[in-house]
C-alpha cells in the first residue's frame, strides 16, 4: 500500500490581481503558510507559467520549479482544463467557449481547436521538463447537448461522436506517451466523459490507450447520484489524480439533478468546502490507500457559501487529517507462531 501525498491545492480558483494571489512566488508562500505542501498549476494563467516556454526550455521549467520549491512546496501537476475543453466544442457553445482562447482565435472554431491541440502538446513536454508524470484536463464535448435527448438521438450519433472525439485525442495521447505523462480526464458534467460508461466508450475508441487515465473528483458524482465509492473499485487502475472536493445533493419537490436554472447557492446539488458536504472522505482515502494510489490529494475549492481563504485553510487541515499513513505490518503479527514450508505442511496434515 501507499501513503497518499498531500495536501496539495489547485491554484486556479485563488489567483487574482491582488497580493498574495497575483504571482506564483507569493501565492506559493501563502499556500505553504496555511499548511499545503504541493500546488497544482493552471497552465493558462500567465501569472503562474508560460506553457510554451516551459515546453521548449528546460532552463525555464527549472526556474518555475525552483520558485515553487523555494517556498517549501512541490508541483503536483499542471492543468489544461480550459484548453482541453476546446479540443471538442459543439457549435452551440462556440460563443461562450471562445473566452477560453486568445482573442485572435475567436469566431474561428477550426483555428481555436488547432490552438488547443498545440497547447496540450506543449503541456506534455512542459510536464516532462518539470519532472511530472500526470496531467489534468477536460475531454471537451460534441454530444453533451444530447445527454437527455428530445427528440431522440439518431441511430449511430453517439458512435460517431465518440469516434471523432477519439480521433482528436489520439495524437495528443501519443504525445503524452512520448513524454512519459498520463492524461487524467476529470470526469465532469458538460464533458462527453462524464461518468464511467462514457469513459469506457471513449477508452474503447482510443484502443485502451495506456495514457488515457482519470482524475477522480467525487463531488461530480454526488450531483449525478452516482456511487462514487464503487467507482474507485471499477477504475482504480486508471485513477492517477485526485481532487478533494465536497458536494451535497438535497432534492426537493421543486428541483432535482438539473437545478432549475438556479444559481449555485440555490441548486439542489451544489459544491461545498471540504467537510461541509456529504462526501464520505474517510471511505475514499481508505480505498485509495488500499488500492495503492501513488498520487496527490489536491484541494479544489468550489463553494457558493464559504470564503475561499477559509475554505483553503480548513481544507489543508482536512486533507492532512484524512491521509492515512499506511501500515508496514499486520496488526496480528504479535501472535505469529512462525512459518516455513515444513511447518506449513505439518499444519495442513501433509506428510
DSSP string over 183-231: EEEE--TTSS--SHHHHHHHHHHTTT-TTEEEEE-THHHHTTT--HHHH
> What contacts 116, CB < 8 A, 6 or more positions away?
83, 84, 85, 86, 87, 101
Q: What is the mean pLDDT of residues 24-37?
A: 98
Contact (Cβ atoms closer than 8 angstroms) between residue 217 and residue 186: yes
What pLDDT shows up at residue 337?
72
Give the mean pLDDT of the chain: 96
Residue with cell 505490518: 329
Alpha-carbon radius of gyration of the chain: 22
Please give the pLDDT value at position 41: 98
Confidence of residue 11 (pLDDT cuts 50, 70, 90): very high
Strands 269-272 and 239-244: unpaired
50 or 347: which carries more pLDDT confidence?
50
The Cα 256–Cα 258 span in angstroms is 6
For 92, phi and psi rounded to 5 degrees? -60, -25
Q: Which residues pair with 104 in a beta bridge?
A: none
For the chain, the structural domain boundaries read 5-347
pLDDT value, residue 336: 74
% residues pLDDT > 90 (the chain): 93
Q: Does the structure show a pLDDT above 80 at 334?
A: no
Q: What is the pLDDT of residues 247-281, one digit of tens each?
A: 999 999 999 999 999 999 999 999 999 999 999 99
Residue 20: cis peptide before it, omega within 30 degrees of 0: yes
Q: Tell me the three cell numbers of residue 141.
A: 464535448
Architecture (CATH level 2) of domain 5-347: Alpha-Beta Barrel (3.20)
Asked whether the CA dihedral 60, 63, 67, 72 is positive or negative, the reply is positive
Which is nearest to 300 in space by CA: 195, 188, 167, 196? 188
C-alpha distance across the termini of the chain, in Å? 36
- What is the pTM (predicted TM-score) of this model? 0.95
- Residue 253: how many other CB atoms lie within 10 Å: 5
With a CB cutoff of 8 Å and minimum separation 6, the contacts of 252 are 268
Kindly report, residue by residue over 199-223, the tens digit of the pLDDT: 999 999 999 999 999 999 999 999 9
Distance CA 246, CA 229 (A): 14
For the residues 175-191, what does the mean pLDDT come to?
A: 98
pLDDT in tens, 116-170: 999 999 999 999 999 999 999 999 999 999 999 999 999 999 999 999 999 999 9
Amino acid at each position: 500500500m501507499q501513503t497518499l501525498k498531500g495536501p496539495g491545492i489547485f491554484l486556479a480558483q485563488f489567483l487574482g490581481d491582488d497580493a498574495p494571489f497575483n504571482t506564483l512566488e507569493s501565492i506559493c508562500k501563502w499556500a505553504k503558510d496555511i499548511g499545503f505542501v504541493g500546488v497544482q498549476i493552471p497552465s493558462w494563467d500567465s501569472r503562474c507559467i508560460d506553457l510554451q516556454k516551459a515546453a521548449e526550455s528546460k532552463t525555464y521549467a527549472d526556474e518555475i520549479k525552483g520558485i515553487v520549491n523555494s517556498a517549501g512546496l512541490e508541483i503536483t501537476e499542471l492543468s489544461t482544463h480550459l484548453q482541453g475543453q476546446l479540443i471538442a466544442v459543439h457549435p452551440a457553445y462556440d460563443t461562450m467557449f471562445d473566452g477560453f482562447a486568445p482573442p485572435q482565435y475567436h469566431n474561428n472554431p477550426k483555428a481555436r481547436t488547432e490552438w488547443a491541440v498545440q497547447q496540450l502538446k506543449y503541456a506534455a513536454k512542459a510536464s516532462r521538463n518539470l519532472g511530472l508524470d500526470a496531467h489534468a484536463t477536460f475531454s471537451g464535448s460534441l454530444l453533451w447537448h444530447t445527454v437527455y435527448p428530445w427528440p431522440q438521438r439518431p441511430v449511430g450519433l453517439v458512435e460517431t461522436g465518440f469516434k471523432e472525439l477519439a480521433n482528436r485525442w489520439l495524437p495528443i495521447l501519443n504525445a503524452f506517451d512520448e513524454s512519459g505523462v498520463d492524461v487524467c480526464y476529470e470526469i465532469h458534467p458538460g464533458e462527453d466523459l462524464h461518468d464511467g460508461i462514457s469513459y469506457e466508450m471513449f477508452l474503447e475508441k482510443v484502443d485502451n490507450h495506456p495514457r488515457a487515465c482519470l482524475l477522480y473528483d467525487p463531488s461530480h458524482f454526488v450531483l449525478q447520484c452516482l456511487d462514487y465509492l464503487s467507482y474507485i473499485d471499477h477504475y482504480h487502475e486508471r485513477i492517477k489524480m485526485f481532487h478533494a472536493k465536497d458536494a451535497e445533493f438535497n432534492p426537493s419537490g421543486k428541483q432535482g439533478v438539473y437545478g432549475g436554472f438556479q444559481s449555485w447557492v440555490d441548486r439542489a446539488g451544489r459544491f461545498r468546502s471540504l467537510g461541509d458536504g456529504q462526501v464520505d472522505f474517510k471511505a475514499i482515502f481508505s480505498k485509495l490507500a488500499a488500492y495503492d494510489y501513488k498520487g496527490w490529494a489536491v484541494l479544489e475549492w468550489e463553494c457558493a457559501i464559504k470564503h475561499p481563504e477559509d475554505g483553503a485553510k480548513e481544507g489543508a487541515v482536512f486533507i492532512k487529517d484524512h491521509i492515512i499513513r499506511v501500515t508496514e505490518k499486520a496488526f496480528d503479527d504479535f501472535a505469529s507462531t512462525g512459518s516455513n514450508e515444513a511447518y506449513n505442511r505439518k499444519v495442513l496434515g501433509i506428510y
